[in-house]
Every structure is written in structure tokens, then in C-alpha cells.
Structure 1
Amino acid sequence: MTEILAGPDCTNMAEVRAGVDSLDRELVALLRRRFDYMDAAARIKPERGHVRDEARKAQVIAQARAAAEAQGLPGDAIAALWERLVEASIEYELAAFDRRG
């Protein structure tokens, strides 16, 4: 098992790849937690039409952009990722809403 090093401490590609793979597993676990909130939202919202909320979507993306820029990351790239994440979350929530009958 390769020790997971911080990015600045990596000296070869095996270490970089091990770190990226480890982070990817953590990100998927975080996404599971995020989608659990989509399950809760689908359970709580009284109508299917309440699932899509464009004002909230814009707020979430703007917050992600601001947080990214505060960390020195490219705001446009993070906003684009969050656009897709929010759309995937909406699709998931709609499906969860439909499953509840």
C-alpha cells in the first residue's frame, strides 16, 4: 500500500496517483452524503414542482464559486462543475420524489 502524501510532498507519479485515487474515494463518499440530503428534500417537499428552484441553484453555484476563489481555485471551472452537480442532484431528487409515490 502506498502511503498517501500531501500533494506538495509527492515526488513521483505513483504518489500523485495514490493521492488522487484516495481523494476520489472521499469525494464519492461526500457525494453520497449530499445525495442523502436530496432524498430528504424529496421526502419533505410537498410537490414535485418544488424540486427545481432556480434561485437556490444560482445561490449554491455562486457560493461554490466564491469558496473556490477564496482557495485560489478557478471560479469558472468550479462553477461549471457545480452546475453539473446541481443538475444531477435535481435529476436524482426528481427520481426520488417519483419513487415515493
Structure 2
Amino acid sequence: MADLFSPEDCMTMAQVRAGVDALDARIVALLADRFAYMRAAARIKPDRADVRDEARKGQVIAQAAAEAAKLGIPADAIAAMWETLVEASIDYEMVEFARLKG
């Protein structure tokens, strides 16, 4: 992102869009790392019933919302995104669990 403008320095929509596109690519790469941890969880958990952990799900969503609030971005929007992310992660982990353990 060295050749990108900071949000404060953007003067055109092309600069804004370039920054957003670059960040989106980084976010997807980070999500790939997150899903790798879901593969690890599927490998480590002994029982399929262990994949869904509602207490942990609530904790993860609350942590994301708290971090959002700390950064001054909409905590409710982040919580909604994390709800989707966590459910997708659980679905992925279920698939990986079945692939690894049948």
C-alpha cells in the first residue's frame, strides 16, 4: 500500500477506490488465515458436537464489537458482520471436521 493515499489525503474517488480495493485484498488474506485456524480446530476437536460453541461465539462477537467501539466505528454493524463470519466459520469447520474424521 506504499503508493496508496491515506484516507485523509485522497482527493479523487479513484484514490478512494484504490485504497478500498487494496484493503479488501488484505482483509480476504486475513480471513484465509482465520479459516486456517478453523481447519486446525476441526483437526483438534474430538467430537463434531464440539464444533458449535455458543458461549465462544458470543465472546468472539462481543470482542469484535468492543474493538469496533474503541476504534470509533459502528459496533452494531461489526457485530452483525461477525455474526455472519462466525456462522460461516462454523459451517466451514463442520465441513472440515467431516472431511478429516468422516
Please tell me the TM-score bracket, short chain as reference. Answer: over 0.9
CA shift for structure 1 position 78:
0.4
CA shift for structure 1 position 17:
0.3
1:50 aligns with 2:32: no
1:63 aligns with 2:63: yes
Match of 1:27 in 2: 27
Unaligned runs of 5+ residues in structure 1 are: none
Task: Supply the distance in 2 between the matched residues of 1:4 and 1:50 (Cα, whole angstroms).
Answer: 44
TM-score (norm 2): 0.95
* Aligned amino acid, residue 76 of structure 2: D
Unaligned runs of 5+ residues in structure 2 are: none
CA shift for structure 1 position 6:
1.1
Match of 1:14 in 2: 14
TM-score (norm 1): 0.96
**Could you say what secondary structure the match of 1:25 adopts?**
helix
Number of residue-to-residue matches in the alignment: 99
* Aligned amino acid, residue 39 of structure 1: R
RMSD (Å) for aligned C-alpha atoms: 0.5
1:87 aligns with 2:87: yes
